[in-house]
Each structure stands twice: as C-alpha cells, then as structure tokens.
Amino acid sequence: MDFSALRFLVIGDVMLDRYLYGKVQRISPEAPVPILELEREENRLGGAANVALNLRSLGCQVSLAGVIGTDSFGDTLLEEAGRMGIHTYGILRDENRPTTTKIRLIAHKHHLLRVDREKRAPLTPPQAETFLLKIKALLQDKPHAVIIEDYDKGALSLESIQAIIGLSQERGVPVLVDPKKDNFWAYSGATVFKPNLRELGEALGVSLSEAPIPEIEEAVLLLRSRMPHTYTVITLSERGLLAYGEKEGFLHIPAHYRNIVDVSGAGDTVVSILAVGMALGLPLEKTTALANLAGGLVCEYVGVVPVPKDRWLEQAYSLGLL
C-alpha cells in the first residue's frame, strides 16, 4: 500500500536515543556494579522525532518541529532525520539547552541503566514566537494532520498548544495529541486525544491501573466533559485500546498476543497510525485496530523502533483491516 501522498506535521519534544550495547562478564572492583564491555553504539530518533520516523517508515511525507541544542547530539539528530527524509525546517536550536538525549546501556537484551541529558525549562518569549512562526509556515502546506507530541521537556506551553490547535482548525487540519502531565488539560478542541491509562488516572486523580473497562469508560466521559475534543483513544497496555466518538460510542480493541521485549516508543507508533488512518478517511474502529496492531508489533523489538511496515501490512490485510 502506498502512503507517499500523505503529509504530516509533527510538533513537540524531539529527542535523541543513544544505545550502548555490550556484554557483562564481571563486577567492578570499585563498586558492586556490572562492567559493560562496550561493543557497539547506535543513535535513533526519539520522542516527537520517533513519531516522525514511524510515519516515514510507511513512506509518508513528514515535517518535524521541535527544539534542540547547538551541541553534537543536536547535529546527530538533524543528520539522522535528514538521512531518513524527514524535513527539519521546524527545528529550533537553543544554545542554552542540551539536546534531550536518553542514553541506554544494554547487555544481553536487558537494560542496565538509562542516563537522561536534558533541560526542561520553557522557551523564552522570543524563542516561542520564532517557533510558532515556523509552525505557521509549515501549516501553509495544509498537511493531512498535525500531531502534537508532548513529553514535558519545554518545547510546548499552554499558549503555544492552543495557538497550534487554533491555526490548524482555521485550515481544516485535524490535530492528534499524545499528552503528558504538565499540559494535560490544554488540548480543548483537539481531534484525537490519546493519553495512556496511567496518564488519564493521574489527571483525574484516580487509580485506573486495575479498573474494569466500565470504570475506565466513566473516566473517559469525565475527561471529555472537562476538556471537549472529538475522539478519545486510551492505550491500555496489555488490554489493548479503548476509543470513544460521539457517533461510534465506546470501542474496546483487545491486544494481540505478542512476545513483548520492550514497550519503549509504542505510544509513538499508536498515534502515528491513528494519524494515517484519519488521513485515509478510515472509520474509527479500523483506525484504532490498525494502531493497536502496530503498537503491539514494535514491542517485539529492543529499543525505540518504527513500525515494521511489511509485517504490519501483512497482518492488517490478513485481519481485513485494509
């Protein structure tokens, strides 16, 4: 299936994921910690950049807007994005912050440690204005959808979020949101709002981790009453997805059986496929089923990886989703 005509704008907190792979054969004499004998290093696009990568892995056209530092990690991120064919006009470079980088130490397919390098301060008013001007310019091309990927790293604010939603609405462009805690309630008017179950519970001040589906449905209705939006999609981990639309009502899409290796980046994949389904004009049930399928597939790989297009399409066709 050809997705090359689909165009997306991904906005939010971009990151570089670094993986240090090796083997552990001894314990340090200096402290009771394993010694990782480094064998290879790998850089991958993370955060909002991983959403863009997921869309590019399907052949879509993608522009990325975010904030990085003027450091070597920022150079690496831009190089990797360019190599993958992701447009980076929307990237703002800030000399006063490091590029958000997650460094993972891995031995024998197991994570030993993660080191985060970041500064979460909000943009200065001049930076925020420049960032929004870049986004306005990218919206002139009227993409099929805008995806806001918020990781609470400082690229987005209450004001910029509402401005992006307003500008998108003026152009008739749907907005899909993957929220985090700080700006959770800032997305009134979004087309698709996709928190995970833990994030929904924290925002509402209730525990939903072991809640039955009817109780989660009540939480979704409360969410929608406090912050109106068109479609709600809640990722439920091993229980799949729960979606709601005014016409469709509640849809529970069970998870497929998977050999789970690493859940990192699964949410990025889900929101990416939701955007594709919306761009194709698919009904909510098919769109969420396709996203659920893709989110499970990436969990079979170590680290943050984009959706494996051929496997996803093969299984989607076999299930009658495409």
3-state secondary structure at position 199: helix
Residue with tokens 């447009």: 87
Q: Are strands 7-12 and 61-69 parallel, antiparallel or unpaired?
A: parallel
Tokens of 123: 């943009």
Host H or E run for residue 79: helix 72-83
What is the separation of C-alpha 32 from the centre of its chain, rounded to a whole number of angstroms?
A: 36
Apex 264 CA angle, 81 and 155, nearest 5: 55
- β-sheet bridge partners, residue 40: 21
103, 76 contact by CB (below 8 A)? no
3-state secondary structure at position 64: strand
By the 10 Å C-beta count (0-12 exposed, 13-18 middle, 19+ buried), 310 is classed as exposed
Say which of 2, 13, 268, 310 is annotated catalytic.
268
Q: What is the DSSP string of 202-259?
A: HHHTS--TT--HHHHHHHHHHHHHHS--SEEEEE-GGG-EEEEETTTEEEEEPPPP--
100, 117 contact by CB (below 8 A)? yes
Tokens of 80: 């990797």
Tokens of 228: 């109106």
- Would residue 141 show up in a list of annotated catalytic residues for this protein? no
Residue numbers annotated as active site: 268
